A = this chain, B = another copy of it.
Amino acid sequence: MNSVPGMNATGAAPHDPVADAPFLSGIPSHTRKLILGAAEYRTLPGKNMVIQSGAKATHLFLLASGKARYYRVTGQGKELLLRWLLPGDVFGLASLLRNPPPYMGSVEVAEESEVYVWKHVCVCDLSLTYPQITQNALRIALGYLASYAERHGNLVTQKAEHRLAHTLIRLGQQAGQLLSGAVHVDVTNEQLGNSADVGMFTTTRVLKKWERQGAIAKKRNKILILAPEKLDID
């Protein structure tokens, strides 16, 4: 919590996101190649629905490049953004199971992206041969669970402004680009609000306030974080 936020990502080491994927962690290099070789490599155009919530879990995906939104649509038609998927992230974990439950969220690529795709039966075979895969999947699922629990806790105890601050800073760390001393985050007010469980109007008001205080700058579809330390504490 005390670490300085905002400094991140694309700055230093250009690690291969696929080789560093948590999903393949602890697996020797040659085995990793074998596993990746069993996948189909596909390029997806932007605005492409990859996974439909509730559908049968037929494929496992590993994002190699690009960006995708992982979201759920509630019964009332409201769209809940669960997570931004970045290179190295896997999705469709349900497909690892023998008699898989349906996908529980939808995934849509936000820009042109590349993915590895495994068929259900194929990934089942692999997970039998290389149990480390299932272990990694379990670790990832528990991580999701933890971040979900934290979000839920924040929603219940923190106020809207606090949640927005946390969400924005996390977004900056995960998906921000450091340009000329500011962290650029590609996100609309509505998407940010959605990630923080705050309505769009309240989100706009808070952002405007921060802009007046010189903590951020706004463009269309983009937020520049100038002084993250002005956000955390109000």
Residues of A within 8 A of B (CB): 26, 72, 74-76, 78, 80, 82, 93-94, 96-98, 101, 104-105, 127-128, 131, 134-135, 137-139, 141-146, 148-149, 151-158, 197
Task: Specify which chain B residues have a CB less than 8 angstroms from the CB of A197 in the assembled complex.
Answer: 156
A153 to chain B, nearest CB (A): 4
User: At the interface, is chain A mostly helix, strand, loop or mixed?
Assistant: helix
Task: Specify which chain B residues have a CB less than 8 angstroms from the CB of A154 in the assembled complex.
Answer: 74
Cβ A149 vs Cβ B104 within 8 A: yes
Task: Specify which chain B residues have a CB less than 8 angstroms from the CB of A82 in the assembled complex.
Answer: 149
Task: Specify which chain B residues have a CB less than 8 angstroms from the CB of A78 in the assembled complex.
Answer: 153, 156-157
Q: A97-B135, A148-B152 are in contact. Are A74 and B141 (CB under 8 A)?
A: no
Task: Specify which chain B residues have a CB less than 8 angstroms from the CB of A101 in the assembled complex.
Answer: 139, 142-143, 146
Select from chain B the residue with minimum beta-carbon distance to A147: B104
Q: A131-B131, A145-B145 are in contact. Are A138 and B96 (CB under 8 A)?
A: yes
25 contacts between A and B (CB under 8 A): A74-B156, A80-B152, A80-B153, A80-B156, A93-B142, A97-B135, A97-B138, A97-B139, A97-B142, A101-B142, A104-B145, A104-B146, A128-B131, A131-B134, A134-B134, A134-B135, A134-B138, A137-B138, A141-B141, A141-B142, A148-B148, A148-B149, A151-B152, A152-B152, A152-B155
Task: Specify which chain B residues have a CB less than 8 angstroms from the CB of A134 in the assembled complex.
Answer: 131, 134-135, 138
Cβ A104 vs Cβ B142 within 8 A: yes
In addition to A78-B153, A145-B145, 14 A-B residue pairs with Cβ atoms within 8 Å of each other are A74-B154, A74-B157, A76-B158, A78-B156, A78-B157, A80-B153, A93-B138, A93-B142, A97-B142, A98-B135, A141-B141, A141-B145, A151-B152, A155-B155
